[in-house]
Each structure stands twice: as structure tokens, then as C-alpha cells.
Amino acid sequence: MKSRITHIVIIVVLIVVLSIVAIFIKDLFSKNDLQKLATTQEIANTLVNVPDAPQVGVKPEESNEDIITVKKGAIAVIDIPSVGIRAQVVEGTDDESLKNYIGKFDGCAYPGEYGNFSAAAHNNIYTEIFRNLHKVQIGSQVRVITRTKEFIYKITSVEKIEPTRIDVLNENSSVQEITLITCSDMAKSRICVKGTLVSANDI
């Protein structure tokens, strides 16, 4: 009889001990889960509350506007939103200039001036700036941003020409036009895009 009572007592004690251990483990896991949840929530809150990193050339109070900055050494930025072209323009069309930039032809008019603002860039080597120039549609806009003004040109023609066609660079002092050129067909021809000035705004 005593032996049976002893067994029952031991079983009851084991049940109580196991229950206490189970409750302790459950509480421990609950605390860990709460800590993890709190940490996750803190991280989420931090991510939500972190201000957007300032964009290059965009003032914090004007972050909704598309403000483009002309870098040191450049004379302008050409931006053709419809085909995703945007790059700095430098003086000259030598190999070194065209490796990373759009090059302005020597002697041609400057942006906004009467005459022919003419520029060229690569489309298949180095930065491939004018890779999508052939996709420009007549009527599309070309923005040319200098340090003081923004000029909007409207595309009037897009054509493939022979490399010998230098007449496209000719100046006409009675108009304000832009001419953009890049190679095509493995340099066997050229893409020539022309436009006329439709507006000029102070920056």
C-alpha cells in the first residue's frame, strides 16, 4: 500500500514539475517573440520614418520637381524624356569627350542661340548615351538645360543619312535649331535628329 502511495506522490510531483517547466518555457518563448516583434516593429518604423535620400541636383524643398544640375566642365544637359536620354554636354567631339559625354561641335551655336546647336554622342561603345536616339518621334521634346536657362526644342525630323552629309550641321542665323547625331549600321550611316526651339525659361 505504501509503495502504491509513494508512486502516486512521485507521479503527482513529476506532473507538477513538468507543468512548471512547461509554463516557464512558454513564458520564455512568449517574451522572445514579443522582443522580436518589438524589434521588427522598431525597424519598420525606422524605415518608414527615414526621409528620402536627396537626389542629385534636386533641392529638398522641391523634391517633386525634376531639377537637373549642369556639372563642372559641362555647358549644358540634354534631356529627352520620351526615350530615356539624359547626359552632360561638353565642348568638342574628340574621342576623349565622347567617351563619357555628349559633345558640342566646334563653332556651332550654343543652346538657345540663333543658328544650329549641334551635338553628337556614341550609341554602341563607352556610355552608349545616344543608344535610343533613333526611337525619338517627330513632335517629341528635347530639353536643354544650362546653368541659367531651360530650352525646349520640338523634334521636326528624324532620318538616317550618309556619313558624308555634313550639310546637316550648317548654320541658319534666322532659326534656333538643334541637331543631334549618332552612328548607325556599324558606322556606315548616321542618325540625324533635328528640332526647333519652342520655349526658353529662366531657371
Global model pTM greater than 0.85? no
pLDDT tens-digit readout, 54-81: 333 333 333 334 678 999 999 999 999 9
For 149, phi then psi, to 5°, come to: -140, 160
Give the per-residue pLDDT at 38. Answer: 35
Phi, psi of 53 (to 5 degrees): -65, 135
| Confidence (pLDDT) at 35 | 41
C-alpha cell at 31: 517574451
The length of the chain is: 203
Task: Report which secondary-structure segment, H or E, holds 37.
Answer: helix 2-49
Residue from 196, 154, 158 nearest 176 by CA = 196
C-alpha cell at 113: 542661340
pLDDT at 23: 57
**Lookup result for grid cell 559641362:** 74
Say how many C-beta atoms besides its own lie within 10 A of residue 29's C-beta. Answer: 10
CB atoms within 10 A of CB 169: 15
Residues of the chain with pLDDT under 70: 1-14, 16-66
What is the dotted CATH code of the domain comprising 68-202? Answer: 2.40.260.10
DSSP-derived secondary structure for 100-153: TSEEEPTTSPPTTSSEEEEEE--SSSTT-TTTTGGGPPTT-EEEEE-SSEEEEE
